[in-house]
Amino acid sequence: MGAIDQDRWRAAYLNEIARVASETSDRILDTVFFGGGTPSLMNPDLVADILEKIRGGWRISNSFEVTLEANPTSVESGRFQGYRDGGVNRVSMGIQALNDPDLKALGRLHTSKEAYRAFDVARGVFDRVSFDLIYARQNQTLADWQDELAKAIDMAVDHLSLYQLTIEPGTAFGDRHSRGGLLGLPPEDLAADMYFATQEICEAAGLPAYETSNHARPGAESRHNQVYWKYGDYLGIGPGAHGRLTLNGRRYATETEKAPSVWLGQVEGNGSGESRRDILSPHDMGTEYVLMGMRLVSGISADRFERLANQPVNYNKINYLKDIGMLEVDGSNIRATPMGRPVLNAVISTMLEGVT
């Protein structure tokens, strides 16, 4: 962001914070997450100004968590100290892999040496540091992943995000795969072995899974991401940000323009960067709750689903999934079993059959 007028962006962000705070100032704010793109390229004083404005807009919880995403290519020790002085107390790093050939194959711009250095810088400044890795990569063996994961656990402070490489249509990887450019991807049974090895190794190291792809020492779970997974309210500010907001008994989905220049122009011209605000139907809310909540190891509440969706869960499907070992049901609580979590998308799809 060196060539960007950060004063304009500061004014826009502060304007947006004031706008959304005027609707929700009675709430207690628990978390802030600087994510998307490369927020670690922002000047530390801009982050500090944003957090100062936030503290003036809401009551702040005693466990206030402020996370900043950082790429290893954009790390400077002085900058990190500035973020901490400004109020950031947690960093999430997009490391992705711990060797250079795989980083290149993933399209990452940093080297493994830069990743290790960035992590050391972050660990020296922040008490809470998380980083991401991707597994089931091209030509990766189970032994390769076990070795890499052991190194990651030796590095880990309190949290790891471990994602299985998936090929989605319309993405860069999806396009490459459709052209035959992603050779050597592991077969499904090997990817499953990697998943189960991940669970076993992390749990033995005191970093059990609390969500499909996230592992933490007890008490170090990402409080911000749990807001999404527990289907709480969150405000999305900035280009391409999404939000979920409950006002006067109605729940809204909010969106902003993705193009930074368009978003900035809207804020300066219209006083709002919000491009859409749609009322969510009971069907939408019930579906979203299941999609997000079932990612958590703790699962969802059937009672809450009924309140959101205005209908009960489909117990015929729930009991079927329970009988084949995919779900556990304890009173109102429904959660995936260790056998159900690797095929969670199929479990969720079955759970939502008949939801109208």
Q: Is the domain of 208 the same as that of 332?
A: no
1 domain-assigned:
no
CA 61 – CA 65 distance, rounded (Å): 9
CA 176 – CA 107 distance, rounded (Å): 12
User: Residue 238 has what pLDDT?
Assistant: 95
Q: Tell me which of 228, 263, 298 is where a domain ends.
A: 228
Instruction: Please choose, from the candidates 123, 225, 142, the residue with its C-alpha nearest in 3D space to the C-alpha of residue 187.
Output: 142
pLDDT tens digits, one per residue of 79-133:
899 999 999 999 999 999 999 999 998 888 889 999 999 999 999 999 999 999 9
User: Residue 354 has what pLDDT?
Assistant: 85
User: Residue 261 has what pLDDT?
Assistant: 94
Q: Is the domain of 182 the same as that of 98?
A: yes
Q: Are 80 and 106 in contact (CB under 8 A)?
A: no
Q: Is the domain of 303 the same as that of 244?
A: no
- Calculate the CA dihedral of residues 103, 107, 113, 118 and round it to 10 degrees: -120
Contacts (Cβ under 8 Å, ≥6 apart) of 189: none
CA 316 – CA 61 distance, rounded (Å): 41
**Host domain of residue 36:** 28-228
CA 272 – CA 298 distance, rounded (Å): 37
CA 114 – CA 124 distance, rounded (Å): 15
Q: What is the CATH number of the domain that holds 307?
A: 1.10.10.920
Which residue shows structure tokens 């000047």? 43
CA 35 – CA 215 distance, rounded (Å): 19
Which residue shows structure tokens 């969500």? 211
Q: Is the domain of 66 the same as that of 203?
A: yes
Q: Is the domain of 182 the same as that of 323?
A: no
3 domain-assigned:
no
User: Residue 41 has what pLDDT?
Assistant: 79
CA 209 – CA 297 distance, rounded (Å): 7
Q: Judging by DSSP bridges, how do beta strands 128-135 and 242-247 pair with one another?
A: unpaired
User: Residue 1 has what pLDDT?
Assistant: 44
Q: Tell me which of 183, 211, 228 is where a domain ends.
A: 228
Residues paired with 29 in a beta bridge: 60
Q: Is the domain of 244 the same as that of 188?
A: no
Q: Are 148 and 98 in contact (CB under 8 A)?
A: yes
Q: Is the domain of 300 the same as that of 249?
A: no
43 domain-assigned:
yes
CA 64 – CA 58 distance, rounded (Å): 12
Q: pTM higher than 0.85 for the full model?
A: yes
User: Residue 71 has what pLDDT?
Assistant: 86
Q: Is the domain of 198 the same as that of 96?
A: yes
Number of domains in the chain: 3
CA 249 – CA 126 distance, rounded (Å): 39
23 domain-assigned:
no
Q: Is the domain of 148 the same as that of 243?
A: no
CA 204 – CA 14 distance, rounded (Å): 45
Q: Judging by DSSP bridges, how do beta strands 242-247 and 333-336 pair with one another?
A: unpaired
356 domain-assigned:
no
Q: Is the domain of 136 the same as that of 167?
A: yes
For the chain, residues with pLDDT lower than 50 are 1-2, 174
Residues paired with 209 in a beta bridge: 215
Instruction: Please choose, from the candidates 304, 298, 225, 239, the residue with its C-alpha nearest in 3D space to the C-alpha of residue 273.
Output: 239
Q: Is the domain of 35 the same as that of 157?
A: yes
User: Residue 177 has what pLDDT?
Assistant: 52
Q: Judging by DSSP bridges, how do beta strands 250-256 and 242-247 pair with one another?
A: antiparallel
